[in-house]
Amino acid sequence: MSLFKRSVVSEILSHAGVVFSTLLVVWLSVLLVRLLGEAANGTIGADVVFGLAAFSSITALPIILSVSLFIAVLTTVTRNFRESEMVVWFASGLSLKDWIDPVLRCAVPVALVISVLTLLASPWAYRQIEEYRQRFEQRSDLTKVTAGQFIETQDGARVFFAEEPTKPGDELGRVIARIIEPDWLSVVTAHSARVEKQPNGDRFLVLDQGRRYDLKPGHTEFRLFDFQRYGFRLESKGSASSPQTLRDIVERQIKARPTLQLFADNTNVARSQIMWRLALPLAALNLALLAIPLGAVNPRLGRSGDILMAGLIGLLYMNLVNLSRGWIGNGKLQFGIGVWLIHAVFTALMIYIMWRKLRIKAPKDRPKAV
C-alpha cells in the first residue's frame, strides 16, 4: 500500500472511531432516559432496562456505522483541501479518483459488518426485545411493584407503594394502594401483602391487617373499615386490551422475523423489510463514495455551506430509502424496482459530481485590444 493510501485509510479510521463513539454515547444517553422513564411509569421492569438498552443498541448500529463512515470520509477529504495537503497529492500526479480505492478499503468491511447486523443480528435483537416486553406484560400487578417505588398498573387505575418486608414469608412489607373504581375512590393500607393462587388459576393480592377508606367523588358519602385479611383479584396486563394499533404490532413482528422467513413470505410488508435490510449496506457504500466529491471544497470559501449541503444530501438519501420501504409495504412500488432505484440515483449523482470536480474548464478568451 502506497503512502497516500496508508495516510487516507489511517485518517478515515481515526475519524470514524471518534464519530462512532460519540454517536453511540449520544444514542445510549437518549435511550436510557426513555427506558428509565418507561420503568418509572411501570411500562417495563426496572430489571430489564439495561438488557433492552443493549439489544436496542444492536438494532441502531447499522445506521450509526453508516453515518460514522460518511462523516469520517467527508471530514478527511475536507481537511485535506482546507489544509492544502491535496495540493501536494495533486502535484504528485494523483487526482480525486485515486481516493476511491482507499475509501473502499474502509467502506467495504463496514458494509459487510452492516450486512451481518441487518440480516442476522438485528432480527435476533428485535426478538429479544419483544420477549422482554411480553414477559413483563404477563407478570401480575404485584410482581411489578418494587419496594420504595410508586408503580401504576391498569392504565393508572391502581397505584401501589410498598416497603421492604420485615417478617419472614412476606413478599412485601407495608403497602399503600390507591384504587379507582367506577363509583368509588379507595385508599388501602396494610402491614404486609402476598399473592395467593386459586385452583382455577386466578391470582389474588392478599393484604393483612389493614384499613380501607372509600370516598365517592362529588358526594359526602364515606366508608371506613378495618380488616384482618383482605384480597382483590390481580389481572395480567396481557389480558387487557392493548392501545397499540395492528399496524404497530405487525411492524414489530416483521422486524423480528429472520431474513430467510421474510424471503419465504410472499407479502408486501415482508418485501419492504427485505428491501430495508439490503439497502443499509448499499447506502453505506454509496454515502462513503459520495463524500469524496462532496468534501472537495474551495479552502478560500466558508466551510459551513459545504458541510450543510453534504448533510442534507445524506439525510435525503436515508429518507428516500425509508420512503421506498413504505411504498413497497403499501404496494405502491414494485420490490424489483424499489430495491435498487434510490441507490442507482445517488450513484449517478456521485458520478456526476465527481465529473464536475475533475472537469478542467477551458480558459476564457481575453478581449482583444483595440
Specify the pLDDT at position 241.
Answer: 39
Q: Where are the domains of the chain?
A: 3-137+244-358, 142-235
Question: How confident is the model over 210-226, as pLDDT tens digits?
Answer: 888 888 888 888 888 88
CA angle 40, 41, 42 (to 5 degrees): 90
Give me the helices (H) in 183-257, please: 246-256
Question: How confident is the model over 260-318, as pLDDT tens digits?
Answer: 988 888 888 889 999 999 999 999 999 999 999 988 876 665 555 667 888 888 899 99
Integer-rounded Cα radius of gyration of the chain: 30
Q: Is the model more confident about 335 or about 368?
A: 335
d(CA 335, CA 332): 10
Specify the pLDDT at position 225.
Answer: 84
Alpha-carbon distance values, 148 to 37, 44, 234, 239, 316 (Å):
16, 17, 21, 27, 48
Beta strands in the chain (DSSP E): 151-153, 158-162, 175-180, 185-197, 203-215, 222-234
Closest CA to 295 of 74, 54, 116: 74
Buried b (16+ CB within 10 A) or exposed e, 108-120: eebbebbbebbbe
Which set of grid coordinates corresponds to residue 82?
A: 482546507
For 336-353, what is the mean pLDDT? 92
Specify the pLDDT at position 236.
Answer: 46
A 10 A CB-CB count for 12 gives: 25
Which of 114-128, 198-212, 351-365 is predicted most confidently?
A: 114-128
Chain position carrying cell 459545504: 306
Closest CA to 293 of 107, 9, 77, 14: 77
d(CA 11, CA 76): 7
